Structure 1
């Protein structure tokens, strides 16, 4: 008889024994993280706990002192502080990043702009945007190439309530399409949205809550 067991989603991201020190200060002391396709994970910790350091290492923008990362697909990284050119408009950012990713058109970028509700700023220079709108553009650029793994550092910082809800609608669509998402935050207001929460304390990740069997942090 065929098995009725639910298939286990493939791992989209696995990090083992990640360590990072700044001088004599050890920030990460052997952090482990496994994220399955379609899974939404929150990494929670106080300011200075090393959350952004961990995400930069996962994104490949900061080398670890030790450890191993397996990420077979593509990744998108949305840093806490938007890295934008103040002189370029929203539309120009989309064009430059689409060219960098060798995308055939701007269809996905314009769809994201619409979904996040800032169509009226297409011709506005990034330097003239509010903090919340800059963050929308930051998120759009991270998602432009439809990555398999999305790494988000305090992604809804500066969002108004409408944009906050739009963000979660977008996240649910990404999960339904099998995208893995890691959110770095110091506060979680709606824990039920996440498959797993993990606390980053003393440089290590510890599971706090799981809502689905088989999803885990570490081993």
Structure 2
């Protein structure tokens, strides 16, 4: 993203935002509530068009929004099959491995509407990850996770980073900052960079 501006009416949310996400990196975005973090991510993945500036993307992008985008009437396995076809994958094996890595209970045939909020969020996350995209953009992806699943998520994020994927995570939790290679704070519409050691 180079010099990206985004406004809603008279309110400028992004003011010349610049960020470069390299393969094999784990980057964090923090900021106060209402600072524009979700707008930043939605612009990054192409859901929103910047008013000014440019966004360059290479390779496939996986996006996990804050709110689950799953269908409550479909089962977990139906979701996996639907996205398998959409992604052109030969099978759902990797998705099932991801569910297992996140400690997801064996609920493949359950309607998603009957699952707990944390389990729905696990599925939401897996749907973004299952095609092994080059860039993963995750907006507070662990909403509703218990502590064990939270730890499992960060193990998975480091694993994806080490496999060469680029991972961007919005977080408001101070203890998460230790996990990032680079942390950006969105302040007054501008991204301020601070480097964290692995």
Equivalent residues of 2:27, 2:169 under 8 A apart: yes
Between the aligned partners of 2:176 and 2:48, the Cα distance in structure 1 is: 30
Q: For residue 116 of structure 1, what is the aligned residue in structure 2?
A: 102
2:197 is the counterpart of 1:211: yes
> For the pair shown, which has the larger CA radius of gyration, 1 or 2?
1
RMSD: 1.2
User: Gaps (5+ residues) in structure 1?
Assistant: 1-14, 213-219
2:17 is the counterpart of 1:36: no
Q: 1:57 aligns with which of 31, 43, 54?
A: 43
Equivalent residues of 1:44, 1:188 under 8 A apart: no
Return the offset for 1:191.
Answer: 2.1
Return the offset for 1:208.
Answer: 2.6
User: Gaps (5+ residues) in structure 2?
Assistant: none
Q: For residue 151 of structure 2, what is the aligned residue in structure 1?
A: 165
Between the aligned partners of 1:53 and 1:191, the Cα distance in structure 2 is: 21
- Relative to its length, the structure with more strand (as a share) is 1
TM-score normalised by the chain length of structure 1: 0.87
TM-score normalised by the chain length of structure 2: 0.96
Between the aligned partners of 2:111 and 2:50, the Cα distance in structure 1 is: 35
Measured at CA, do residues 102 and 169 of structure 1 come closer, stay the same or move farther in structure 2, by a change above 3 Å?
same
After superposing on structure 2, the runs of 4+ consecutive aligned residues of structure 1 that deviate more than 2 Å are: 208-212
Q: 1:189 aligns with which of 156, 166, 175?
A: 175
Q: 1:134 aligns with which of 92, 107, 120?
A: 120
User: Which sits farther off after the overlay, 55-64 or 143-152?
Assistant: 55-64
Between the aligned partners of 2:42 and 2:138, the Cα distance in structure 1 is: 10
Secondary structure of 1:189's aligned partner = helix
